[in-house]
Amino acid sequence: MEWLEQSIPVFMLIFCRITSFFVVVPVYSANGVPVTFKIGLSFIVTVLVFLTFGLGQVVVQDISYVLLIIQEVMVGLLLGFTAFLMMAVVQTAGGLIDIQIGFSMANVIDPVTGVSTPLIGNFKYMMALLVFLNMNGHHFLLDAIMYSYDWIAITGNVFYEIQAGSVSDFLITTFAHSFVLALQMCAPIVAALFLTDVGLGFLARTAPQFNVFVVGIPLKIIVGLVLLLLLMPGLSGLFEHLFVEMFEALQKLLDVIGSKPA
């Protein structure tokens, strides 16, 4: 009974971090994944983490235990949100392309996130998920949450790092970097469509009787889709580079809010 009284609070703290991680992390947080599967997977991973890192851990069961619960939930949400932020680069790039190509007027419901997304953004996001699963990215995410206990112990002090401002600096830097990656990903198509707009502008000035609006919309769609088709073979390598950036961002976050294991 004494062992249970010491182990159950530790187990629940681990369960809080892992469950909050699966709430926001890509792939596992999709609406198409059943809730029972998410809870069951969280429980299984919690058992593995408890047997690896939780045995022998002792936490004080007083009012400070509530602070430990909040801390574990925040750590899980920060890890999951960092991974989700890097995955959102694909949809941001697709949204910028849709604005230029004219598809932003026809948004669709993304079955993964459950929100309205642009056509090209949704298409590229689905391709990114396929590449992510093909390179076993979901396994790396499991490794990230499991081995986060090497960096951040259950009794760690994450609130100090948050108060110091290092976590907010990391999030701002990561958000800015993700937006730069989105701009770089969509730059070729957006630049080509911008030059198409410039050409249509010159055409409207030189031949005012020419109906640019009737010709411009299908022309931009054709140019955009042809360029997307030509750039398709390079998307796989581009996505792999993006996922490498994701895992590096997760490691930087662990380094910010934790300490590197010896």
Q: What is the pLDDT of residues 164-215, one digit of tens each?
A: 778 888 888 988 988 888 888 888 888 988 888 888 888 878 877 777 777 7
CA 204/CA 194 separation, integer angstroms: 15
Least confident range from 139-148, 162-171, 204-213, 230-239: namely 204-213
The tokens for 38 are 């998410």
Average pLDDT over residues 241-256: 87
| Alpha helices, DSSP H, located in 207-257 | 212-257
pLDDT winner (highest mean) among 62-71, 117-126, 172-181: 172-181
DSSP element (H, E) containing 187:
helix 166-206
pLDDT at 121 (0 to 100): 75
CA 139/CA 143 separation, integer angstroms: 6
> Of 109, 111, 118, which is closest to residue 91 (Cα–Cα)?
118
Alpha-carbon distances, residue 18 vs 7, 23, 43, 176 (angstroms): 17, 9, 8, 27
pLDDT at 18 (0 to 100): 92
